[in-house]
Structure 1
Amino acid sequence: MELEFLGTGAGMPSKERNTSSLAMKLYEERGTIWLFDCGEAAQHQILHTAIKPRKIEKVFITHLHGDHIFGLPGLLSSRSFLGGEEQTPLTLYGPSGLKEWVQFTLELTKTHLNYPIQYVDVKEGVIFEDDQFIVTAKELEHVIPCYGYRIEQKPLPGELYIEKAMKLGVPKGPLLGKLKNGEDVELDDGTIVYSKEVTGPPKKGFVITVLGDTRYCKQSIELSQNADIVIHEATFDHATSHLAKDYGHSTNVEAAKVAKEANAKHLILNHISARFLPHETGKLIKEAKTIFPNIFVANDFSAFQWKNGKLNELHP
C-alpha cells in the first residue's frame, strides 16, 4: 500500500500546496486506488503522478467545504474521456448533500459520464466491508458535518510452508495457492491436506486513519486507536491554538496528542495553513515531537509506502 498526497494545503491553494486530496494506492491489494477528498485542481496534480484516474475505485469525501470537493466534477468528467474497457466502477462516499451537488453540477453543465456512479450517504458506523477491508466512519467536530475514516485491512493468509506441503504429497501448482488462502485440498489419492497444517498464523493487516477537518476530539482518538498511520490536519500551531478552536481545526500539537492517546504508530501532519512557509515545517515537527515521536509533515506529492509492517517515506 502506498499513500501519495496530491494536495496538503488548508482553505485555498498556495504556491507550495494545493487543496486537499490524498491517493491510497492499493495496487498489490486490489489493483485500484482510493481517493480521500478532491480539492480544486486535483486532476492537475494527478497529471504529475503515475496515477491513472480510471483505476480510482472509491472517493471518500470528508466534508462539503470547497477546498475538499471543488475538484470532483472535473475529475469525474475527465475520467469519462479516458474510456476503455478497463474503467473501474466508481463509488462516492460523503456527507448528505454530496450526491445532490454532484448530480446538479453535472446536469447544469450538460456533462455526460460514460460510467455509473454509486453514491453512499455516510453516517457513523461501518460504511464499506468486503473480504479484504472494512471502513468505519465517525463524525468529527468541525463547523459543518465532517467525517473521519478508519480503513482496516483484514488479516492476511499466513506463511505457506511449501516443503512441508510437498512432503505431504501436494504438487507444485494451484493447490499450493488454495492451501495458502486457507482452503483444505484433496489429493488424487483421496488424501486431505489441511491448510492449518501447512501454514503459519494469519498476518495482521494495516490500519490507516484519515481524518477530515476537526477540532481535537474523542472521535479522532477512537478512529485512530492502535492505527499504523494517522493522517491528521494541522492547520495551526500551538501559538495559534485559539484560532484552531474558533475555526473548527487542530494544531500540530493536538494532532500529536491524538496519536499518542490512540497508541498509534505513525502520524502524518496534513492540511497545513499557508501561513507556514516551507522552511517552517521543521518547527511544526519539532513542536509536535515533544508529544509524539514518529511524525512526518506531508507536502504535495509526498509519498509513503507501508510494507512488511514498516512505513517508508518514498518522497518527502
Structure 2
Amino acid sequence: MSMRVTFLGTSGAVPTTERAPSAVLVNREGERMLFDCGEGTQRQMMRFNTGFNVSHLFVTHLHGDHILGIPGLIQSWDFNDRDAALAIHVPPGSKKHVKRLVHAGGYDPSYPVNIHEVSPGSTALDGDEFEVRTFKTNHRTRSQGYAIVEDDRPGRFDREKAEEELGIPPGPMYGRLHNGEAVELDDGRVIQPEQVVGDPRPGRKLVYTGDTRPVQATVEMAEDADLLIHDATFASDESGRARQTYHSTAQEAADVASRANAKRLALTHISSRYAGDASPIEREAQERFHGECFVPSDGQKVEVPFPDAE
C-alpha cells in the first residue's frame, strides 16, 4: 500500500523561477488529496504528472500564496468534463471567501463543490482506514494544519505456527484469522486470532503545518510522525523577521520535529531570499534534528513507508 507525496510548490509568499507557491499533493492508495493550492498549482500537477483526480482539497489559511490556484483548477476540471464532487476543507470563518474563489468571475462549476468549515482539534475527513485531522497553528490569520493518520493494521500472521504447530490447512481460514475471526478445525478445535496473529502494527502519519510559528499543537500532532512537512521560511539570522511575520526558522522547525520524535522532516515555504541557495535552511535544521531532513524541490516525490518497513 503506497503513500506518495509530491511537492508541487515549496516557495514562500513570493514565487521564484524554481519554486511555485504552496501546494502539496498526497496520493494514498490512489486517492489524491491536495493541501493548499497556490497560483499555478494546476500546471504543476501537469508538469509533474501527479494525476488530476483530486477528491479533497485542504486549505490551511486564506493568504493568496495558498489559495489563488483554486479558480483556475476548478475551471480546468470543468473543461475536462469532471462530474465527481470536490470537497474543500477550510478553517472556521473561511467558507464565504473560498466560495468567491470557486465562483470567480461569475463562474459556476458544473460539478458539485462542497466547502466545509472544520475547526482545529477535529476530524476533517473520516476515510477508509485513515483520518485527516486538524490542529491549531499560529500565523497572522486564522490558520490550521492537517495530519493524515492511518488506522492500526493487523499484526503479522505466523504462517509457520499456523501450519506446522496448529495444523491449520492453508486457505481461507488464514484470511479469517488475520481479519480477527476465530475458526473451527475439522477435529473440533477452535483457534483464536491471537494464537497466530501478532500485535497490531501502526499505520503511517503525515503532518503538514502550512504557515506557522513553532507551536506545541504541532509537536503533539506530529508525535512519531513518519513525515513532518513544516514551515521553514527563514534561516536563524532572520529569526526576528520570522517572529514578525509569524513564520518559523529552520532551527525552530527542527526543534519541533525533534520534540515530536518525527522520523523525517521536510522544510518548506522557503523565502525567495534563498532562491539561489537553500542550503543554509537545510544545514541549520540538520544541526538540530538527527533524523532525515531535507528541503524538497518542486516536483520532488517522496514515498512514506510504514513504520515497521524493513
TM category, shorter: 0.7 to 0.9
5 Å-filtered alignment, 1:94-243, equals 94-127=90-123, 128-130=125-127, 132-165=129-162, 168-173=167-172, 175-185=173-183, 192-243=190-241
Give 1:15 shift.
0.2
**Measured at CA, do residues 171 and 96 of structure 1 come closer, stay the same or move farther in structure 2, by a change above 3 Å?**
same
1:101-134 C-alpha deviation (Å, 9 max, x unpaired): 3333444534343432333212121223345123
Q: Counterpart in 1 of 2:77?
A: 79
Q: Tell whether the 8 Å contact from 2:74 to 2:102 is kept in structure 1 after alignment.
A: no
- Is structure 2 residue 272 aligned with structure 1 residue 274? yes
- Is structure 2 residue 38 aligned with structure 1 residue 42? no
CA distance in 2, matches of 1:90, 1:164: 47
**Measured at CA, do residues 57 and 181 of structure 1 come closer, stay the same or move farther in structure 2, by a change above 3 Å?**
farther
Report the residue type matching 1:249 in the other structure.
Answer: H
Q: Counterpart in 2 of 1:256?
A: 254
Q: Counterpart in 2 of 1:26?
A: 28
Q: Counterpart in 2 of 1:16?
A: 18
Q: Tell whether the 8 Å contact from 1:158 to 1:201 is kept in structure 2 after alignment.
A: yes
Q: Helix, strand or coil: the match of 2:272? A: coil
CA distance in 2, matches of 1:201, 1:208: 22
CA distance in 2, matches of 1:71, 1:270: 18
- Is structure 2 residue 86 aligned with structure 1 residue 69? no
Q: Tell whether the 8 Å contact from 1:5 to 1:300 is kept in structure 2 after alignment.
A: yes
> TM-score with structure 2 length normalisation?
0.88
Which has the bigger relative contact order, CA under 8 A and spacing at least 6?
A: 2
Aligned length: 304
**Measured at CA, do residues 191 and 133 of structure 1 come closer, stay the same or move farther in structure 2, by a change above 3 Å?**
same
Q: Tell whether the 8 Å contact from 1:229 to 1:268 is kept in structure 2 after alignment.
A: yes
Q: Helix, strand or coil: the match of 2:77? A: helix
**Measured at CA, do residues 124 and 214 of structure 1 come closer, stay the same or move farther in structure 2, by a change above 3 Å?**
same
CA distance in 2, matches of 1:24, 1:309: 18
Report the residue type matching 2:97 in the other structure.
Answer: W
Unaligned 5+ segments in structure 2 are none
Q: Tell whether the 8 Å contact from 2:144 to 2:210 is kept in structure 1 after alignment.
A: yes
* Identity fraction in percent: 36
Report the residue type matching 1:161 in the other structure.
Answer: D
Q: Tell whether the 8 Å contact from 2:16 to 2:275 is kept in structure 1 after alignment.
A: no
Give 1:157 shift.
1.6
> TM-score with structure 1 length normalisation?
0.86
Unaligned 5+ segments in structure 1 are none
Q: Counterpart in 2 of 1:244?
A: 242
CA distance in 2, matches of 1:211, 1:186: 49
CA distance in 2, matches of 1:222, 1:36: 20
CA distance in 2, matches of 1:176, 1:91: 39
CA distance in 2, matches of 1:189, 1:84: 57
Q: Tell whether the 8 Å contact from 1:126 to 1:134 is kept in structure 2 after alignment.
A: no
**Measured at CA, do residues 262 and 186 of structure 1 come closer, stay the same or move farther in structure 2, by a change above 3 Å?**
same
Report the residue type matching 2:133 in the other structure.
Answer: T
